[in-house]
Each structure stands twice: as structure tokens, then as C-alpha cells.
Amino acid sequence: MVSKEVVSSTVEKKPVTKVVETGSAEDTDSNETSSSTASAAASSSSADSSQSAASGDNSSESSSDGNGDSEAGSASGQAVVDYALQFVGNPYVYGGSSLTNGTDCSGFTMSVYAHFGYSLPHSSSAQRSCGRGVSYSEAQPGDIICYSGHVGIYIGNGQIVHASTPSSGIKVSSATYKSIITVRRIID
């Protein structure tokens, strides 16, 4: 059985209240919920003690990135990817943050993560300090890949989804299409 608990935490110094599903994959009949729960549980079991994953352990802990910013941790990286991919083909608009009517790169990541209760700044350079840094070789679906003046969401298999340019809009590209500055894990 999947239980729900309310978890209050802070992301980017803004309060966030999340409803977190907890329980094991065997406790549910939904394949989608099972997959998300199993992914989150796998992340939790491979995480070290300084990381927090609010899944499978009925925990309401939150983690800190060392800058006083905490992470809610109740969504899975794959859920972020699945949500983000539905906007492929939508327009790029500089300064925008509408996933349907037009967004720029940081507005895209900000709006996608806002759907899951995470508050990210509307600036690609400011997003470089969100969450915690991981190496590209450790990148997981849902991580933010930061470039000079650009940001995208890692979807796995060496690819990102991002709001690219006014001519191409939101699209999927190789994660290494330009030099990576940092990879940030928002959801642990």
C-alpha cells in the first residue's frame, strides 16, 4: 500500500509543502507508481548518508546543499523528464516561462521543476548553484546540465531536453553539444 505524508521543506529559501508517496513497489497495482517508487527507492538505497530521498523509508527529511538551501526530494528524476518531454516542439521565447506559449532555457527548467514543487531561479547562471554538483559521468535523468549561458534537463542516454533557440524551440539534443560547466542534482 502506498501511504502519503505531508513533508515541509525549503527549496531556494522558499517554503514548499509536498505530498510524498511512500511504500514499496510491491505495495501498489499501478505500473507508473511502481516504477516511480522503485526508481526513488533505488536512488535512496544507493545514496550516501548525507543525501536524502523521501521515498520508501517514510522519511520527511530534507537535504541541504551547503548554501542553506534545502531540497524537498519527493519527485523522481524520471518523472521530471517525462513531464518535460511533453513540451518538445513548443516555442522558445527569450525571458519567457510558459511551457506552452514560449519559454527560454532557464524558464523551461524553472517551470518544469515548479510543477513538482521546486523553486529554481529564472537565470541559467543562478541555476548553476542549485542542488548539488555531480560529475557528468554520474548524471541521472532529471539532473540539470549547465553550459555557458544555457541550461537543459538531462533525460538519459547522453541527451538533454531544453528550450534551445527561437528557430528550434524546445527540443532534445546531445548533452555534449557544447562544453558542460556543471551538472546539478536537484532531486536526490
List active site positions: 105, 150, 162
Tell me the C-alpha distance between 97 and 188, whole Å.
25
Task: Give which of 58, 65, 17 is closest to 37, Cα–Cα.
Answer: 58
Q: What is the DSSP letter of 107?
A: H
User: For 12-133, where are the alpha helices, taking DSSP H only?
Assistant: 31-46, 77-85, 105-115, 124-127
97 bridge partner residues:
103
- Contact indicator for 69, 13 with CB cutoff of 8 Å: yes
Tell me the C-alpha distance between 15 and 7, whole Å.
11
How many CB atoms are located within 10 Å of the residue 50 CB? 10
Tell me the C-alpha distance between 10 and 105, whole Å.
23
Tell me the C-alpha distance between 110 and 94, whole Å.
14
